[in-house]
Amino acid sequence: MSLAIFDLDNTLIADDSDYLWGQFLVDQGIVDKAYYEAANAKFYDDYKKGVLDIAEFLHFSLKPLADNNAKDLYRWRKRFIDTVIRPLLLKPAQELIGKHRKRGDTLMVITATNRFVTEPIVSLYGIDILLATTPDFVDGRYTGAFSGIPCFQEGKVRLLEAWLKQSSETLANSWFYSDSHNDLPLLKRVENPVAVDPDDTLKSYADAMNWPVISLRTEQCPSHHFHK
């Protein structure tokens, strides 16, 4: 039994839930279209380039949570999950998760996208353990701030290490699946790093290190890297 860790956006789902949530807010008329659409696109571009200012982005992305009441937010989120996210679930991802589950591995998703957006998505895959950036929630409302450290780049490593100290798990024979070069700090820490539909930077690094490179965008679940 091992720890099997999965990134979420562009790994287990075929797009980026953080960016899509922002676009959903625009499409629903919940935020100002011109400003929010441009800012959302810029932050996403910064993320892909590896130059995202995570604190600045979280100030932007968590503000709609603070500007609206929880009841409306949960209603909008359900519509977002049903109409935007469900079509992006990947059958090969479900099969890969199933293989790890059958082995008795501990399943975890670790993502920079905040817990409000990602918790219901991770539940769709039947995974109970989620490490994510956590929005502050006080007296029944989101504050627009976040608790602890952002679950991003080195922050993913730090949050995982803190979790390991409180659990019986170790990184012995651990796995981490990710599409993004932003996840190199954690990919380098596990025993079995796997690049999944990787960006160009991660693809080059994975090839140089002889890491497995797989795709979950096809109907056939890859298994050549998966050892009993």
> Which tens digits make up the pLDDT trace of 56-65?
999 999 999 9
d(CA 194, CA 112): 18
- Model pTM score: 0.93
pLDDT at 218: 77
In the annotation, is 105 catalytic?
no
In Å, what is the CA distance from 104 to each residue of 81, 99, 228?
A: 28, 9, 11
Q: What is the mean pLDDT of the chain?
A: 94
In the annotation, is 199 catalytic?
no
Tokens of 43: 């932050």
- For 59-126, the DSSP string reads HHHTHHHHHS-HHHHHHHHHHHIIIIIGGGB-HHHHHHHHHHHHHTPEEEEEESS-HHHHHHHHHHTT
Instruction: Tell me which of 7, 105, 179, 199 is the catalytic residue.
Output: 7
Q: Length of the chain in residues, anyone?
A: 228
The pLDDT-based confidence of 149 (bands split at 50, 70, 90) is very high
Q: Classify domain 3-214 at the CATH superfamily level.
A: HAD superfamily/HAD-like (3.40.50.1000)
Domain ranges of the chain: 3-214
Instruction: Tell me which of 9, 16, 197, 199 is the catalytic residue.
Output: 9
